[in-house]
Structure 1
Amino acid sequence: MQSNNKIDVRREKMLDVIRRSPVTTINELAEFFSVSAETVRKDIEYLDEQDLIIRIHGGVAPKVSTGSEKSYDIRYAENLEKKKAIAEAACNMITPGDSVIIESGTTMQELAKVLTGRPELLQTLTIITMSFRVVEILKDSNFEKVFFLGGWIRKDDYMSYGHHTIELLKDFHADKAFISCAGLNTKLEVTDYFDEEVMLRRQILKSCDKSILLADSSKMNKTTILSVCSAKDIYRLITDKECSKTMTDLFAKNHINYKLV
């Protein structure tokens, strides 16, 4: 049996490895330390209990400080099945012939994937986006019209942003827009981290008839640094069934049009 000292040393080294990468899989850690996957899971469980790492689907990510946004890859891996369900429900709101703004974000990536599986719908749509990930997913599909909003590049989020992007967006008016957020709090404020994304999202709201907020339950009862708008300004909110009763009661009381999936 390994001594506690050897286990502690391995866990310390494992934490160092985890901190060097946005996402590390259990198999990668097992191979790196020449131990079993079960041993790695026990180490991860210990590090998680110490609040040093974040456990995600299929692996682990480094803990980030409060007020900082996690990397795109970490955000994509978290709550992935919920995001897929939300994306399916969002796609069901799109009708043939719609013009659609698809914002940048991990759930938007899943929405683009759903659309590629419905070519008879996709080929009737006009899609406006600032997300490189959305374009990458759509590029080999049977799309008809896709407009990419250019501008400065935020490489961490695989998107364009800034004054030029907003000015281009002002030339469009879409039937529907799908937007994301970092948090939705008990004051019903839709919040995010970056000025540029907040300003872009506000223009999206002006540039569509119906705005649909896609936000899984991890975003609920959460406040980040900047306010985008009130949930009352959103046509519909789609979230998952793990959304707390505190939040759904608030939605009902304030006549928020929401759907749980």
Structure 2
Amino acid sequence: MIAGREDHPVIRVSGLRTRFGQQLVHDGVDFSVAKGEVMGLVGGSGTGKSVLLREIVGLMEPTEGRIEVLGRDTRQLSERERIALQARWGMLFQDGALFSSLTVLENIQVPLKEHTSLPRDLIEEIARVKVAMVGLGPEAGNKYPSQLSGGMRKRAGLARALAMDPEILFLDEPTAGLDPIGANAFDELIGNLQKSLGLTVVMVTHDLDSLYAICDRIAVLVDKKVVVGTIDDLLKQDHPWIHDYFHGPRGRAAGAARG
């Protein structure tokens, strides 16, 4: 946890329960994220990592509980208030979720056109700046998603997520499908952007290298709840899944690689 920020979290989840029919996915999830923190969210298959992320950003409704983002209870907002709050964060979906019929530049311009009344030429200039910010060449701006590699699509999706200069960045499996070199480069990009822009980042991932590289703390979904701590904290946990995850071959390799 970032020192001195515990009492003023950017995100607070309290008593969250999620049920799909007879299936209970979350049962009393509680955790908070401090301003400027990078929080990893991990768990086994079926533990509801992406579901939790989507509930925080308002794409899904939990069965019970309270979700506060930037001091606002997301379940108590009017439509106008909800749209205004959502303009203060960006989200990168696992597959980039780019509009296939739009170029990269046009994709980045979508949230700017939706949430601002900026002149067209300024919107176009902002889009070009965001392309450069994520490490894409200027020629990428005029390409369609189908003309990009998987890594380039993720960077383009990230550029769109950053279009509104958000305070919070949500990432859903950002390195999934990338080779080790590409994944490492993307981790470095996220880390550099977080530091330079002062972002708060919440990242669903299964990539242990990413956890070691850029996360301040990790929220582990186990037994329908969360266990939160630094990697050092979690290495001391005796919960079977947590122990196997961080002490298994991949966990030991990731730890060794990061010293």
Range of TM-score over shorter length:
0.3 to 0.5
TM normalised by structure 1 equals: 0.33
Query: TM-score, structure 2 length as denominator?
Result: 0.33
Higher relative contact order (CA 8 A, sep 6+): 2
